[in-house]
Amino acid sequence: MGNLKVTMTDVNGVTTTFDNVEEGTSLMELGKQNDIAGIMGDCGGGCACATCHVYVTDEWFAKVGEPDDIEFAMLDMVSDVQKPTSRLGCQIKMKPDLDGIEVTVAPSSSY
């Protein structure tokens, strides 16, 4: 068990806060392990399905950073719902810098 904090709002608007997240755990893994509605993680974290699409809050996006080209291409395929702060949950790995991060699961992740 780690000690990092993540607040996740699922596709139904239910917010859950985890405060024992281990460093290195991706937000997709965290969502899947805890049955967060809308996080499917179909491709197992390979950046190839976008069923782990989340919106990062503006405040946290600066720390999380922009997606790389491959991730951006994947997000582009779900562009109907893309926000500037869209990221793939499997590409966000927890680290001390991200302690306290808040994300909302995007509707497109439940395709």
Site of interaction with ligand FES (CB under 6 A): 28, 41-43, 45-52, 74, 88, 90
Residue 69 three-state SS: helix
Cα gap 102→40, rounded to integer Å: 18
Closer residue to ligand FES in complex, CB, 21/52: 52
Q: How far is the CB of 103 from ligand FES (least distance, A)?
A: 13
Q: How far is the CB of 96 from ligand FES (least distance, A)?
A: 23
Closer residue to ligand FES in complex, CB, 4/32: 32
Question: Phi and psi for 98 in degrees, rounded to 5?
Answer: -100, 10
Closest chain position to ligand FES (CB) = 90
Q: Which two tokens stand for residue 23?
A: 């460093």
The closest alpha carbon to 83, from 63, 107, 64, 102, belongs to 107
Closer residue to ligand FES in complex, CB, 44/63: 44
